[in-house]
Amino acid sequence: AWRRAGAHRRRGRAPRPREAGERAYPPRAMSSRLLEAALWGDAPTFSAELSAAAARWPHHRAPPLKALANDVDADGKTALHHCCSARMGGAGAGGWFGVLAACLRAIDEEGGSGAARPSPIITHQDRKAGSALWYAAANRINDDPAEASEAQQFAACAALLAFGADATAANYHGQTPRQAHADGHNRPDLLALLADAERVGGAAAAAAAV
């Protein structure tokens, strides 16, 4: 009974106040430090954790890729899902875009960047059938209005399309990435890119947009 009471008090404890400038994010249990770094958009920590995770697969032909594929949370989200959905850490290589770049480098190094045979990490859908492209195109989960960071949204979607992401893959509500974007930010350039990707394929649309 004492243990149950103690657990109840711990569960009822008020959350600590956020520091000035600290980003808000719904609390969730991360299954690894790799996923946590991806969620918070901490690119330096993510790169270090990816190297450490890859070291646990020394005999695999693609250790970083194995680490990315192996670290999946209870919702079916990979590190790529988390950095694309939360989009935290600010603009530039040190934030979420840097995490995305690290993921794509690992895929590219193992020859998984072709649109004809995209890496399963690019095409993977979580338990709600959301792909990394779907989350990158949709509204942020995070509520911090960091416009400099959000300006990277177009480049992120173009990069995922170039790596073989499917613009026609809908989530379990039947929403494609373009429809998810239209419900939120509704940036004309990104809507046009996603519409082209649905029509001619992601790689061709991305190449035309660059």
Span 95-125, pLDDT tens digits: 999 999 999 998 888 765 566 688 999 999 9
148 contacts 93 by C-beta, under 8 angstroms: no
Minimum mean pLDDT among 17-21, 66-70, 175-179: which range? 17-21
92: left (phi over 0), alpha (psi -120 to 50) or beta: left
Tokens of 37: 């770094």
Token pair 């949204």 is found at 153
pLDDT in the model for residue 10: 35
Tell me which DSSP letter residue 151 carries: T
Q: Which residue did the predictor score with more confidence, 78 or 187?
A: 78
Which one-letter amino acid corresponds to residue 135?
Answer: Y
Quote the CA–CA distance of 98 and 43 in Å, as a whole number: 5
- Residue 170: half-sphere exposure toward Cβ, Cα within 13 Å: 6
Region 194-207: what's the mean pLDDT? 94
**Residue with the larger pLDDT of the pair 57 and 93:** 93
What's the token pair of residue 17?
């106040």
Q: What is the pLDDT of residue 186?
A: 78
pLDDT value for 64: 83
Over pLDDT 90: what percentage of the chain?
Answer: 53
How much is the pLDDT for 26? 38
Average pLDDT value for residue range 163-183: 94
| Percentage above 70 pLDDT, the chain | 79
How far is residue 189 from each of residues 84, 134, 151, 208, measured CA to CA in Å?
18, 16, 11, 12
DSSP state of 164: T
Average pLDDT, the chain: 81
Report the distance separating Cα 47 and Cα 54, nearest Å.
Answer: 10
Question: What is the DSSP secondary-structure string of 39-103?
Answer: HHT-HHHHHHHHHHHHTT-TTSSSHHHHHHHH---TTS--HHHHHHHH--S-SSTTSHHHHHHHH
Prediction pTM value:
0.81
- Res 102: pLDDT: 95
Using the predicted structure, report yes or no on whether residue 137 has a pLDDT greater than 70. yes
**What is the pLDDT at residue 209?**
87
3-state SS assignment for residue 112: coil
Rounded Cα distance, 197 and 168, in Å: 8
